[in-house]
Amino acid sequence: MTTTRSLREKAGSEPITMLTAYDAPTASVVEAAGVDAVLVGDSMGNAVLGYDSTLPVTLEEVESRTAAVARATDEALVVADMPFLSFGVDDADSVENAGRLLKEADADAVKLESGPHTVELTRRLSDLGIPVMAHLGLTPQHVNKLGYARQGTDRDAAERILELARDHEAAGAFSLVLEHVPSNLAAQVTDALDTPTIGIGAGPDVDGQVLVITDVLGLSDRSPPFSEQFGDVRGEMERAVSGFREAVEGGEFPAEEHGHVEGDVDDIY
């Protein structure tokens, strides 16, 4: 069973794998494939809830999806993403919201899109026994300020990311996602930390990789440039759905084996 401790132990010897999942069947496929951690990301906003960004995603949505994922997994570490403004506004609310994701939804850890404002919160949650995965670089909850652009692309910005990574490690974060930052910056952050780094658009020199499941499956309308499609699930779904429609319209479905006849219910009308 993957724990925050075993994930840390794996770092440096073997690559860590993490994928998002937002429902039970997908989580069970991810776990059966031997992926170390399942992230119930607020990327669910764009990926499966039909929003234009992650900003509208609510704590209740993450909670309900996390509970479904947790019910379907025994081995993988389940990390629940804290949605926009569910943390960082009020300390007590932040702790209560993070606690709900562990107590009620059965997450093993939470992820926070991080910045200077999350260092003390990371310390507080970690002290309380709520493991925190930090997230630096591109943080999509800041889309209205930063867009979806690469981060850490000049010296000052890169130094800020390295400093924040160190601060979150010191505050107790058990791992750190680095999103859409230069590969050479991610490599240096990884060298500087004992805490495992998990990259997305951060090159190969990190301790692990994470991608959004709908991108990996080939189900997304649009995917970021750093993603890779490993399947054609949209094509397979289209074939299945068209097959159903054609079979119904052509009178081939349902066939005899899909129904049953009871003598007793003859002649009631």
Catalytic residues, by residue number, are 179
Q: 3-state DSSP call for residue 181? A: coil
Please confirm whether the linkage preceding 254 is cis (ω < 30° from 0). Answer: yes
Q: Does residue 38 contact residue 78 with C-beta atoms inside 8 Å? A: yes
Task: Name the residues that contact ligand KIV, by CB under 6 A.
Answer: 20, 39, 41-43, 81, 135, 177, 179, 200, 210, 212
Q: How far is the CB of 210 from ligand KIV (least distance, A)?
A: 5
Q: Is 145 annotated in some ligand binding site?
A: no
Shortest distance, position 7 Cβ to ligand KIV, whole Å: 15
Amino acid at 56: P
- Is 113 labeled as ligand-binding? yes
Q: How far is the CB of 90 from ligand KIV (least distance, A)?
A: 22
User: Would you say 143 or 248 has its CB closer to ligand KIV?
Assistant: 143
Q: Binding site annotation covers 220?
A: no
Exposure b/e, 211-245, CB count within 10 A at least 16 = b: bbbbbbbbbbeebeebbebeeebeeeeeeeeeeee
- Say if residue 43 carries a ligand binding annotation: yes
DSSP string for residues in 148-162: T-----SHHHHHHHH
Structural Rg of the chain based on CA atoms: 22
**Residue with smaller CB distance to ligand KIV, 145 or 260:** 145
Distance CA 100, CA 117 (A): 21
- Strand ranges (E), the chain: 16-20, 37-40, 77-81, 109-113, 132-137, 175-179, 197-200, 208-211
Q: Tell me the closest approach of the beta carbon of residue 10 to ligand KIV, in angstroms.
A: 18
Q: How far is the CB of 137 from ligand KIV (least distance, A)?
A: 10
Task: Enumerate residues 6+ apart whose C-beta is below 8 A from 62.
Answer: 40, 42, 44, 80, 81, 82, 83, 86, 101, 105
User: Among residues 100 and 135, whose Cβ is nearest to ligand KIV?
Assistant: 135
The HSE-up count of residue 244 (CA atoms within 13 Å, CB side) is 5
The smaller minimum CB distance to ligand KIV, of residues 41 and 182, is found at 41
Please, which residue, 179 or 207, has the CB nearer to ligand KIV?
A: 179
- Find where tokens 């606690």 sit: 99
Helix (DSSP H) and strand (DSSP E) numbers for the chain: 11, 8
Is residue 75 a known part of a binding site? no
Annotated binding residues: 42-43, 81, 111, 113
Annotated binding residues for 3-methyl-2-oxobutanoate: 42-43, 81, 111
